[in-house]
């Protein structure tokens, strides 16, 4: 009797589970229909975006033609100028809409991953992926620092190969992750992406550099260079995270902006103290290029030496020029703000002289504008 009751209980459980399975099938059917509907809407939005861009290009083309004509009236010119501003605003709106739609992979991702869709449509998932990228860089940076230090203490070929293989894997992975971030709206500037591709090639050439006297002459210098670069990158990461968090909270930076090895315009406020450390690192790259150039005259020199010399020289020139251009850009902006501030003060003073009865009000307004512009200049 007890056994029969147990069988009936099992049949009852199975019957309940079957009812739940039918509910699961219905939910799955709804999901499939919604997914198909989602794909249709994505395709529709993509086509409408293409149509919007095509029409805007046509309108912009005619707009420029009208603006260059001499017979255009002042009223029409104002209308066309306002239309041009509206087009710029529409482009920004379309770009924002596009971030929620699947994007085409870059050529590099197509070569590495094939035609796999790497677009992340959920905003929180995008930010989570970006944070994982930042953690990956930080952890590998610390591991690289430790391995460089161990290679200074111990001259073992196996330890060298572990470190060099780590560099190749790190930079390869970094370029793939950055390409995925780029597809998902991260504004990574061209040089810093190219910098990582060059570093990947550099690490690969170092890995196949055979043992010999030239390698031993360059080995310790390269390990010291990596120790210094790892320390600077760690310092950059810690300070950039704080500045980026503050600027994102103020709405001055995009949520998908990331930390970089070099210097960017948004770092001007609060991170100028990094300049000396960065330029010492760039000079170290030049010193590496010069040392390798001297080693090309060694009797046992191999093809890796001149190739590495050229690569380190390219890194030195690219990093230095990019950082110097940022400094020049910010100095130009500060000069323009200073002249604008002086012009504002002069105009307010002239107004005060012309209207003596309201001199206090004008002076207070001038002081308010002066304080506001001073804050912008800072």
> How many Å apart are CA 282 and CA 234, to the nearest integer?
16
> How many Å apart are CA 141 and CA 147, to the nearest integer?
10
DSSP string, 268-287: TTT-GGGHHHHHHHHHHHHH
346 falls in which pLDDT band (50, 70, 90)?
low
Instruction: State the average pLDDT over residues 309-314.
Output: 97
Share the mean pLDDT of the chain: 81
* Higher pLDDT pick, 39 / 203: 203
Residue 347 has a pLDDT of: 62
* Helices 123-153 and 213-249, packing angle to 10 deg: 150
Report the largest interatomic distance among the alpha carbons of the chain, rounded to a whole angstrom.
111
Q: How many CB atoms lie within 10 A of CB 5?
A: 9
Among 109-123, 211-225, 299-313, the minimum mean pLDDT is found in 109-123
Report field, pTM of the whole predicted structure over 0.75: no
Sign of CA dihedral 40, 44, 47, 49: negative
Instruction: State the average pLDDT over residues 178-185.
Output: 86
Residue 306 has a pLDDT of: 96
- Domains of the chain by residue range: 2-98, 111-324, 334-377
The 10s digit of each residue's pLDDT in 99-145 is: 778 888 888 888 888 888 888 877 778 878 878 888 898 899 999 99
Q: How many CB atoms lie within 10 A of CB 285?
A: 21
Q: Which residue has 């690490």 as its token pair?
A: 203
Residue 2 has a pLDDT of: 57
* pLDDT above 90 for 304: yes
Tokens of 273: 């103290």
Residue 288 has a pLDDT of: 97
Q: How many CB atoms lie within 10 A of CB 229?
A: 19
* pLDDT above 50 for 373: no
> How many Å apart are CA 349 and CA 40, to the nearest integer?
63
234 falls in which pLDDT band (50, 70, 90)?
confident
Residue 241 has a pLDDT of: 65
Tokens of 337: 């703000």
Is 343 exposed, middle or buried (CB count within 10 Å of its CB: 0-12, 13-18, 19+)? exposed
Residue 82 has a pLDDT of: 87
Backbone φ, ψ for residue 359 (5° rounding)? -60, -40
Among 174-183, 267-276, 279-288, the minimum mean pLDDT is found in 267-276
The 10s digit of each residue's pLDDT in 50-106 is: 999 999 999 988 888 877 776 777 788 788 888 888 998 898 888 888 877 888 888
Whether 282 contacts 320, CB under 8 Å: yes
Residue 120 has a pLDDT of: 82
Backbone φ, ψ for residue 154 (5° rounding)? -125, 130
300 falls in which pLDDT band (50, 70, 90)?
very high
Sign of CA dihedral 41, 47, 53, 59: negative
Residue 243 has a pLDDT of: 56
* Higher pLDDT pick, 370 / 27: 27
């Amino acid at each position: 009797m007890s056994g029969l009751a147990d069988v009936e209980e099992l049949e009852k459980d199975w019957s309940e589970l079957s009812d739940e399975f039918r509910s699961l099938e219905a939910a799955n059917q709804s999901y499939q229909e919604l997914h198909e509907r989602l794909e249709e809407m994505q395709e529709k939005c993509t086509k409408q975006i293409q149509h919007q861009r095509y029409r805007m290009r046509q309108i912009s083309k005619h707009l420029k033609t009208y603006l260059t004509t001499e017979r255009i009236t002042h009223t029409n010119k104002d209308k066309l100028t306002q239309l041009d501003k509206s087009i710029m605003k529409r482009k920004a709106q379309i770009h924002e809409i596009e971030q929620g739609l699947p994007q085409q992979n870059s050529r590099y991702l197509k070569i590495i991953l094939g035609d796999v869709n790497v677009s992340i449509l959920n905003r929180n998932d995008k930010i989570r992926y970006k944070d994982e990228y930042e953690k990956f860089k930080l952890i590998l940076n610390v591991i690289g620092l430790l391995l460089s230090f161990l290679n200074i203490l111990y001259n073992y070929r196996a330890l060298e190969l572990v470190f060099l293989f780590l560099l190749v894997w790190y930079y390869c992975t970094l370029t793939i992750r950055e390409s995925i971030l780029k597809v998902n709206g991260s504004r990574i500037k061209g040089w810093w992406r190219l910098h990582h591709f060059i570093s990947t090639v550099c690490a690969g050439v170092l890995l196949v550099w055979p043992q010999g006297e030239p390698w031993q002459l360059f080995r310790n210098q390269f390990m010291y260079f990596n120790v210094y670069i790892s320390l600077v990158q760690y310092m950059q990461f810690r300070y950039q995270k704080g500045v980026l968090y503050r600027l994102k909270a103020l709405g001055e930076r995009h949520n998908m902006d990331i930390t970089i090895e070099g210097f960017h315009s948004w770092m001007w406020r609060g991170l100028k103290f990094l300049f000396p450390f960065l330029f010492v690192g760039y000079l170290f790259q030049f010193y590496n290029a010069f040392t390798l150039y001297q080693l090309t005259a060694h009797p046992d020199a191999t093809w890796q030496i001149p190739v590495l010399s050229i690569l380190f020289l390219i890194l030195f020139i690219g990093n230095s020029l990019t950082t110097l251009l940022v400094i020049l850009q910010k100095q130009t902006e500060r000069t323009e703000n200073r002249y604008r501030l002086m012009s504002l003060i002069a105009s307010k003073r002239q107004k005060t002289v012309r209207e003596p009865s309201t001199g206090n009000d004008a002076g207070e307004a001038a002081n308010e504008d002066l304080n506001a512009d001073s804050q912008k200049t800072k």
